[in-house]
């Protein structure tokens, strides 16, 4: 929540069911509700979601894929896509072909996140560019990923770690070239 003195209250939500509560609170004209859609797996058209999502004043989507999933389930909405919420210093985006590129994957190790595609893609380019890949998360595909990495001699490139606290995770983002 953000309340500006003598201004509107801005409520930013991420969780779908928390939206239901916020939807009731934000009926006031002094309240603005914005919601960020991070994943597609909860985007199912049903009575409750239709009611919840219809009350959100602004919708943001972290990718084209999630936006398209929303459209397929709920119909057209104003398209606003945000790519990443952390400000990255300009010096971080300068391309240096001589150093090891650091790739960061953060998310659940589940089919709909498809971490195996990243592993296989990195495998195809490993001899063309120096890479270090850190995969942060947990989920049902973790053992499959570890086995694939081991069986394809990719241990030098990949490191899989458990979920991190926000402050620690931000350090990983800031040290990465691709995320």
**Helix (H) or strand (E) run with residue 72 in it:** helix 64-74
Strand pairing category for 9-13 and 31-37: parallel
Mean pLDDT of the region 21-28: 54
Q: What's the rounded Cα separation, in Å, for the pair 54 and 16?
A: 12
pLDDT category at 32 given cuts 50, 70, 90 is low
Quote the pLDDT of residue 142: 97
Q: How much is the mean pLDDT over the chain?
A: 75
User: pLDDT tens digit string along 89-122?
Assistant: 545 443 444 578 888 999 899 887 888 988 988 8
Cβ atoms of residues 58 and 34 within 8 Å: yes
Report whether pLDDT(6) > 80.
Answer: no
Residues 91 and 128: their CA atoms lie apart, in Å, by 24
Average pLDDT over residues 139-158: 96
**pLDDT reading at 78 higher than 70:** no
Q: Please report where in the chains the tokens 């801005």 appear, as a residue.
A: 10
d(CA 177, CA 179): 7
Threshold 0.75, pTM exceeds: no
């Amino acid at each position: 929540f953000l309340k500006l003195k003598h201004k509107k209250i801005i409520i930013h939500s991420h969780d779908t069911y928390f939206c239901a509560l916020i939807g009731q609170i934000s009926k006031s004209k002094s309240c603005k509700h914005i919601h960020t859609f991070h994943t597609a797996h909860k985007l199912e058209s049903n009575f409750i979601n239709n009611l919840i999502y219809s009350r959100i004043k602004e919708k943001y989507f972290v990718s084209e894929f999630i936006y398209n999933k929303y459209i397929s389930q709920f119909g057209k909405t104003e398209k606003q896509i945000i790519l990443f919420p952390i400000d990255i210093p300009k010096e971080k985006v300068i391309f240096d072909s001589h150093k090891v590129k650091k790739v960061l994957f953060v998310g659940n190790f589940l089919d709909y996140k498809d971490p195996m595609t990243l592993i296989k893609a990195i495998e195809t380019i490993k001899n063309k560019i120096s890479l270090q890949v850190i995969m942060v998360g947990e989920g049902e595909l973790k053992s499959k990923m570890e086995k694939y990495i081991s069986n394809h001699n990719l241990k030098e490139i990949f490191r899989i770690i458990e979920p991190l606290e926000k402050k620690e995770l931000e350090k990983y983002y800031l040290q990465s070239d691709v995320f």
